Structure 1
């Protein structure tokens, strides 16, 4: 089993980006965030807009992931061709789904189509061999957010090419018939997924609503934190301003 790590501190802190503005990426990178995640699942991002956001991330040297809206080959290839740093893949409920997603990110032994013209290949400057080497091994983090996903988590995390697991507690709560992301059943399942991911030597991620929760989830084994979003950060700043 291969172990994939990201080149940043043991505790990695980022946020979701839901607003299509490259300036937001520049600000987050300038503030020192370890990464950001474009939320193309729940926010309006098309290919052209993602293209601009990736350029902004490169300008400040900040890794930029994307939470893709679906598992379709064209969706995955588009994101990778633009030079995204990694994929956060929602609703991975089985080992078969995990294997299929990984295959769609790989040239050799996979299903990813090749072109030397996109950004990831240096717009044709790298040549085929170096471009393939540059494009292989993109981190794939599978989002676990259902009973089925929890049941299959041990198999999913063992898939070669899966860099880690990310617990989506909101949808996980809904799969339990609950509307509380901190309900005992949800928290117990979260602990189990984070623990088995840590033991597998892979990235254990979780979405948090507030930075104050980091210590709690670090104790559960989490190392990769997506805290709120650009929208929630703006809202908290505006409320603090008005409160002052």
Structure 2
């Protein structure tokens, strides 16, 4: 499914999906979210579950990204062939990492293998030229989540084909020897990455846990947000319902 990053002062909001239920995708498709990200790095997604989720996303009109489990050519090729709108790639630490990721995601000028048979090529209904043009519009978002990645952020952002620098504050904190993603050093590094992305004409992305946090980073120029997950949204709603019980009904 095609997807375009927000332009101007606009911003997009999505969420992580960590439960392998196509019904969750259908529900999110009617929520008004701009996209969702299937978390194949930290959730129990195999290829069959990813493929079923992609079908649900298409049926619900919800563009789906995949946070892949690694940067390998096979992992990236697989989810793009399934029809992912883009990929969120963890642990992109250097310019070379970024160049390799982009190459694995691109036909023209890259090394992505071509087949007319998968969903991304319309199961053989798209001509090769159209399938290549469509496939090369997939969004590549690189996660900046280590001290070396922050130091190399400007060089990563300068790589053609990198569309988003996405700050992973939790792993960034671990890289700094910290156990709190809200530590001042982590927040300063995150803001540095945002500035670098914007200076390079790329989108800045951020994971946030609340609307208030989203608005804070939107004021700094972040335009691509992943807010919570299906798990956290379910838990928060359930906890709110539980707290709202009257004493008489308890």
Return the TM-score normalized by structure 1.
Answer: 0.96
Counterparts of 1:77 and 1:25 in 2: how far apart (Å)? 22
Counterparts of 1:96 and 1:114 in 2: how far apart (Å)? 23
Q: What's 1:18 paired with?
A: 18
Q: What's 1:134 paired with?
A: 134
For residues 200-235 of structure 1, give each alpha carbon's deviation from its aligned partner in whole angstroms, at most 9, with x where no partner exists. Answer: 221110111222211111122211111110000000
Q: What's 2:235 paired with?
A: 235
Q: What's 2:109 paired with?
A: 109
Q: Does 1:73 find its partner at 2:108? A: no
Q: What's 2:84 paired with?
A: 84
Counterparts of 1:235 and 1:16 in 2: how far apart (Å)? 14
Q: CA deviation at 1:81?
A: 0.3
Stretches of structure 1 lacking an aligned partner (at least 5 in a row)? none
Return the TM-score normalized by structure 2.
Answer: 0.93
Q: Secondary structure at the match of 2:105?
A: coil
Q: CA deviation at 1:160?
A: 0.4
Q: What's 2:248 paired with?
A: none
Would you say the 8 A contact 2:169–2:186 is kept in 1? yes
Would you say the 8 A contact 1:17–1:39 is kept in 2? yes
For residues 98-148 of structure 1, give each alpha carbon's deviation from its aligned partner in whole angstroms, at most 9, with x where no partner exists. Answer: 000000011122111111000010000112111111111311000000000
Tell which deviates more after alignment, 174-183 or 195-204.
195-204
Counterparts of 1:138 and 1:38 in 2: how far apart (Å)? 15
Q: CA deviation at 1:238?
A: 0.6
Counterparts of 1:228 and 1:109 in 2: how far apart (Å)? 35
Correspondence list, 1:146-225, <5 A = 146-225=146-225
Q: Secondary structure at the match of 1:160?
A: coil
Would you say the 8 A contact 1:77–1:112 is kept in 2? yes
Q: Secondary structure at the match of 1:65?
A: strand
Q: Secondary structure at the match of 1:93?
A: coil
Q: CA deviation at 1:199?
A: 2.2
Tell which deviates more after alignment, 201-210 or 186-195.
201-210
Counterparts of 1:16 and 1:174 in 2: how far apart (Å)? 21
Q: Does 1:99 find its partner at 2:103? A: no
Counterparts of 2:183 and 2:223 in 1: how far apart (Å)? 22
Q: Secondary structure at the match of 1:28?
A: helix
Instruction: Return structure 1 stretches of 4+ with deviation > 4 angstroms.
Output: none
Q: Secondary structure at the match of 2:163?
A: strand
Corresponding residue pairs, total: 241
Counterparts of 1:94 and 1:30 in 2: how far apart (Å)? 38
